[in-house]
Structure 1
Amino acid sequence: MWVTVGVALGAVGTVGQALALAHLLGDVFTGAGPTGAAVAWVAAAVAVRGLGGWVRAAAAQRCAAEIKLELRTRLLRAAAHSSGYDGRDRRSGEISTLLTRGLDALDPYLVGYLPQVLVAALVPPAVVAAMLPHDLLGATILLVTLPLIPVFGALVGLHTRDATARQWAALAHLGGHFLDALRGLPTLRTFGRAEAQEGIVAGVADAHRRATLRTLRITFLSTLVLDTVATLSLALIAVPVGLRLLHGSLDLTTALTVLLLAPEAYLPLRALGSRFHAGTEGMATAREAFALLDAQDTPDPAPHPRRPLSGGDRGHAPRIRFENVTVRLPGRTEPVLKDVSFTVEPGERVALTGPSGAGKSTLLAVLLGLVRPDEGRVLVGGRDLASLDPEAWRHCIAWVPQRPYLFDRTVADNIRLGDPDAGDEDVVRAARAAAAHDFVTALPDGYATRLGARGMGLSAGQRQRVALARAFLRDAPLVLLDEPTAGLDADSESAVLAAGERLMTGRTVLVVAHRARLLEGADRRLDVRDGLVREREVAR
């Protein structure tokens, strides 16, 4: 509303300034001299115009800040929600670019372009209305030539929109690739591929540079076109006014009024064209942001409304049944899981074996609710997993991934993720069960030692035992272990296996196992290969 008020004040000030200044100059050129009233009117008109501009800018800045804050908040929530296992909605690089560089590009659009649209809608009609009583011919020429600028601007704007969309796509690709390269830098350095990434990043950056230059080229050419059209249109008004003034058919004050009002009619449209080009990146990023948010807001295709688990469900491991489950992941032509069917009885320990990339971790992700089957369903205690409340269901699961994530918090805080309401004694008890107590107490501040991001300062085996402590603290009836001993030395592997055995005792267990020791004690073995799941005999 305040933006509209500012624009209206600016329109009144613009017309008033031109009329007052024309009368003041007319008095000066005719020798009457400036009067105090005329000077006061000019000063008042300039003040009103300046006040309108200030109100418009301040209100637009405030609105832009609120809109960006709201979008950033929603995008952060979308990023947290889309950090699923399968990567279908995991567009962290693009979201990161939107949160930083992308949303900042909204300023020229929200603060510059949109208010200028109101200016272009109000000021030219006001100028035409003010000119009609003074010069019908000038007002007619103004009415005929004014539409030329938006017409040419729209034609050029179509090319600018496409070029800006390509520029934004290049920038998003650059941001995503750079973020992935940073995240994987330790791995790249380990395998000696860090320098090779320099050339890849340079190539992506060069593509963004070329897209930016193409956009700037169109912007500069369009500015030339709009300025030329406005200048020629203004000349069509100024030349007849000058000729009629020379022949005495038009008085000086009227001529000055027309010459001062006419540029004010073209100026908002010329400014709209330039601000349009400055705001095209903002429009592109806004479309992308809302597309991401719309994708997140799409309702889940669950066949039944979500229902919470009952208290009995959390106390006992339910019977789990996979029925003709098929999962497809982006970038893969073949399904990761194809028509998978099997049953896990309560209290049963099932080992999942098979080559890397066969779909074992994806199968666990389906059970966690992080991946939704493209076909088929998973029944938990006879109820469709898609109909259960996901938070309640995950409280029934203790999950130990292959590479557990530790946060930049204390050791106790990281363990307490298993049960946020647990007391200090419970945390210590869980750490003892996971064989983590001894190394934790040896840390500088014990359980109050703050870990770096991703558990910086701990070895792989220590990080795995902290994850096991989380699982012990959760004390859930269903345990999912995703190759917990991968990449560990012999001592760490023995400690993790012993703690894992204690965790699995008396619970329903699905364990991804590559090593023979993890197969010990398994009731059944399911071999996952080429997207299929087959029953194998367990060596006794």
Structure 2
Amino acid sequence: MKPLDPRLLRYARTTRAYLAATVALGVVHAALLLAQATLLARAITAVFLDGADAAWGLLAAVLAARAGVAWLQEVAAARSAAAVKSQLRDRLLRHLVRLGPAGRRPAGEVATLVSHGLDALDGYFAKYLPQLVLAVLVPGMVLARLLPADLTATVTIAVTLPLIPLFMALVGMHTEERNRRQFRLLSRLSHHFLDVVAGLPTLKLLGRARAQAGIIRRISAQQREHTMRTLRTAFLSSLVLELLATLSVALVAVGIGLRLVSGHLDLTTALLVLILAPEAYRPLREVGANYHASAEGLAAAEEVFAVLETPAPRPGTRTPASGEIVFDDVEVRYPGRAEPALRLRATVAPGEVVALTGPSGCGKSTALAVLLGFVTPDAGRVTVGGTPLDELDLDAWRRWVAWVPQRPHLFAASVRDNITLGAEHSDAAVHAAAEAAGVAGFVAELPDGYATVLGDAGTGLSAGQRQRVALARAFLRDAPVVLLDEPTANLDSDTAAEVMAAIRELARGRTVLMAAHRPELIRLADRVLTVGEPGLVPAGRA
């Protein structure tokens, strides 16, 4: 079982203030507990032995103060947990953006991690950490209070207390591994389910939907079994801790009863020991119980730290300038692949249209990813206008680039917002870009025109229409460099012809680098580069 992970202090600074507040409130809470036990023991003795009136008003005030301090702890814990989760989410998303597509984890895993995974940290901050502080403070203060009152009971409690953290650690190590395995399985299930939902139309056409349903059913059953095993371990460990604490308190109570009957102990002291003995063990029992409740959050935090500690490309500071784009013996390798994913030596002059060709897997998309700064070459370098790409301010460089991927993503927003991507543009500029990309024709048939809200991933539009919306983005961006990744893939011949006409218009006066398979698309290029082979092959422009 782990205490506070120091990486939480590094990545979420609000934790420090929260821990300081927890320690202060824990001290006050423990002091009020001792005062309550002392007042209660004296009040019972006064009523039953002396027949005098007890200080019930003072006792009620102490009880109210304890309740108030406990409420403040809950409030501080909830607010701190929210602040820490917000900081971790912000850092995680920013780092994923810096890593780019090449270093990003599967979307399903990231979604599970950012949402359900980090939400599980509530139990860690709201319950486990406060109880961890109290588990140190309360037993020490209880023993200090009991020492002058009853040495025998104090020694008994001091000897039996270490048994609880010992068994807690043994059980915790077993539970921690189970929770890690459960979270990994949940992430895998989420990613697989997301992939199935995204490809459901294709699976339905190919008659494979039922098979995927069976796979999801099997993985879900595995997740359920792992969850039940983890819960069983948590319940059994709680039983062990409760049994140890109960036997320890019983041992103290038997000694108190025997000495009280023999006359070696007064009633006030006996009551004080009986009231405080369970309180000495309670914080340790609750630490074990709360640890199991927060173990899933700790497993998620481990995954978050693994992402945050993945080195991101170091950003440059130089401003991009127009000029030749040179791939100088660039080589990219991916883990698990014996052969390089890309080998490329090429020069692209300003205003040229160059087609990257070659078989699938030869590195055409990787070349574009390198130029976008998403992938760092393992050897060689890319220069733009004589400046190495890794020395450029990537944000500034990307403002020079318009990128049309093979499968452009459209958001659950209006057509206009999908074209502008949140940037400020006049209606005239948006309509001109849409007209140039061939979007205006089908937008006129939509219920609300440019204000028509699309479904997620562009639901409501065909593949060709989505591709033309992506081209409209490029027209509106008006960038000097355009990158196209198989822009006519998966389109029928008529739609592909319309998209190529838009590309021909887009290429005027711009440097264009496009990955292409279709001969018609390749004919749009000034030159053709077969990826993996040196040199540029001349080709006519259509």
TM-score of the superposed pair, with normalisation by structure 2: 0.89
**Which of these residues, 196, 199, 207, is aligned with residue 214 of structure 2?**
199
> Conserved in 1, the CA contact under 8 Å of 2:325 and 2:349?
yes
Cα distance in 2, alignment partners of residues 331 and 306 from structure 1: 33
Higher mean C-alpha deviation, range 502-511 or range 157-166: 502-511
Match of 2:250 in 1: 235
Q: Which amino acid aligns with 2:42?
A: H
Task: Mark the CA change 1:259 to 1:407 in structure 2 (over 3 Å): closer, same or farther.
Answer: closer
Q: SS of the residue aligned with 1:392?
A: helix
Match of 1:393 in 2: 397
Cα distance in 1, alignment partners of residues 425 and 333 from structure 2: 39
Q: SS of the residue aligned with 2:461?
A: coil
Task: Mark the CA change 1:357 to 1:259 in structure 2 (over 3 Å): closer, same or farther.
Answer: same
Cα distance in 2, alignment partners of residues 519 and 278 from structure 1: 59
**Which of these residues, 30, 48, 59, is aligned with residue 76 of structure 2?**
59
Q: SS of the residue aligned with 1:525?
A: strand
- Deviations along 1:20-68, one digit per CA (max 9) or x if unpaired, are 22222223332x225142x234323322322222221122122112222
Match of 1:14 in 2: 33
Deviation at 1:2, TM superposition (A): 4.0
**Which of these residues, 33, 56, 68, is aligned with residue 51 of structure 2?**
33
Match of 2:177 in 1: 162
> Is 1:307 aligned to 2:318, yes or no?
yes
Task: Mark the CA change 1:440 to 1:51 in structure 2 (over 3 Å): closer, same or farther.
Answer: closer
Match of 1:185 in 2: 200
Cα distance in 1, alignment partners of residues 496 and 22 from structure 2: 66
**Which of these residues, 313, 332, 340, is aligned with residue 335 of structure 1?**
340
Deviation at 1:156, TM superposition (A): 1.8
**Which of these residues, 122, 139, 144, is aligned with residue 107 of structure 1?**
122
Deviation at 1:96, TM superposition (A): 0.9
Q: SS of the residue aligned with 1:444?
A: coil
Cα distance in 1, alignment partners of residues 438 and 275 from structure 2: 85
> Conserved in 2, the CA contact under 8 Å of 1:5 and 1:55?
no
Cα distance in 1, alignment partners of residues 194 and 52 from structure 2: 66
Task: Mark the CA change 1:101 to 1:85 in structure 2 (over 3 Å): closer, same or farther.
Answer: closer
Cα distance in 1, alignment partners of residues 275 and 21 from structure 2: 28
Cα distance in 2, alignment partners of residues 299 and 400 from structure 1: 24
> Is 1:372 aligned to 2:376, yes or no?
yes
Match of 1:121 in 2: 136
Alignment of 1:64-103 (within 5 A): 64-82=81-99, 84-86=100-102, 88-103=103-118
Deviation at 1:416, TM superposition (A): 2.6
- Deviations along 1:471-494, one digit per CA (max 9) or x if unpaired, are 222222222222222222333222
Q: SS of the residue aligned with 1:371?
A: coil
- CA-atom RMSD, angstroms? 2.4
Q: SS of the residue aligned with 1:511?
A: strand
Deviation at 1:292, TM superposition (A): 2.1
Task: Mark the CA change 1:127 to 1:323 in structure 2 (over 3 Å): closer, same or farther.
Answer: same
> Conserved in 2, the CA contact under 8 Å of 1:398 and 1:475?
yes
Deviation at 1:79, TM superposition (A): 4.5
Q: Which amino acid aligns with 1:386?
A: D
> Conserved in 2, the CA contact under 8 Å of 1:75 and 1:95?
no
> Is 1:494 aligned to 2:509, yes or no?
no
Cα distance in 2, alignment partners of residues 246 and 47 from structure 1: 35
Match of 2:63 in 1: 46
Match of 1:480 in 2: 483
Cα distance in 1, alignment partners of residues 414 and 232 from structure 2: 53
Cα distance in 2, alignment partners of residues 435 and 272 from structure 1: 64
- Deviations along 1:2-30, one digit per CA (max 9) or x if unpaired, are 43343223212221222222222223332
Match of 1:352 in 2: 356
> Conserved in 2, the CA contact under 8 Å of 1:6 and 1:51?
no
Cα distance in 2, alignment partners of residues 60 and 85 from structure 1: 36
Q: SS of the residue aligned with 1:103?
A: helix
Match of 1:257 in 2: 272
Q: SS of the residue aligned with 1:422?
A: coil
Match of 2:5 in 1: none
How many residues align? The count is 522
> Conserved in 1, the CA contact under 8 Å of 2:43 and 2:54?
no
Cα distance in 2, alignment partners of residues 221 and 348 from structure 1: 70
> Conserved in 1, the CA contact under 8 Å of 2:98 and 2:313?
no
Task: Mark the CA change 1:519 to 1:46 in structure 2 (over 3 Å): closer, same or farther.
Answer: closer
Cα distance in 1, alignment partners of residues 80 and 36 from structure 2: 29
Task: Mark the CA change 1:414 to 1:163 in structure 2 (over 3 Å): closer, same or farther.
Answer: closer
Higher mean C-alpha deviation, range 469-478 or range 265-274: 469-478
Cα distance in 2, alignment partners of residues 521 and 256 from structure 1: 94
Task: Mark the CA change 1:194 to 1:126 in structure 2 (over 3 Å): closer, same or farther.
Answer: same
Cα distance in 2, alignment partners of residues 241 and 189 from structure 1: 74
Q: Which amino acid aligns with 1:369?
A: G
Deviation at 1:126, TM superposition (A): 1.4
- Deviations along 1:242-278, one digit per CA (max 9) or x if unpaired, are 2222221222222222222211111111111111222
**Which of these residues, 147, 153, 156, is aligned with residue 141 of structure 1?**
156
Match of 1:278 in 2: 293
> Is 1:469 aligned to 2:480, yes or no?
no
Cα distance in 1, alignment partners of residues 84 and 101 from structure 2: 31
Q: Which amino acid aligns with 2:313?
A: D
Q: Which amino acid aligns with 1:14?
A: L
Alignment of 1:409-420 (within 5 A): 409-417=413-421, 420=423
Task: Mark the CA change 1:490 to 1:173 in structure 2 (over 3 Å): closer, same or farther.
Answer: closer
> Conserved in 2, the CA contact under 8 Å of 1:461 and 1:488?
yes
Deviation at 1:301, TM superposition (A): 4.7
> Conserved in 2, the CA contact under 8 Å of 1:327 and 1:375?
yes
Deviation at 1:536, TM superposition (A): 4.1
TM-score of the superposed pair, with normalisation by structure 1: 0.90
Task: Mark the CA change 1:194 to 1:259 in structure 2 (over 3 Å): closer, same or farther.
Answer: same
- Deviations along 1:372-406, one digit per CA (max 9) or x if unpaired, are 21222111111111111112212222322222222
Cα distance in 2, alignment partners of residues 415 and 248 from structure 1: 89
Task: Mark the CA change 1:285 to 1:400 in structure 2 (over 3 Å): closer, same or farther.
Answer: closer
Cα distance in 2, alignment partners of residues 515 and 91 from structure 1: 30
Cα distance in 2, alignment partners of residues 533 and 213 from structure 1: 58
Cα distance in 1, alignment partners of residues 413 and 236 from structure 2: 54
Q: Which amino acid aligns with 2:80?
A: C
Deviation at 1:330, TM superposition (A): 4.8
Cα distance in 1, alignment partners of residues 380 and 87 from structure 2: 38
Task: Flag structure 1 segments of 5+ consecutive residues without an equivalent.
Answer: none
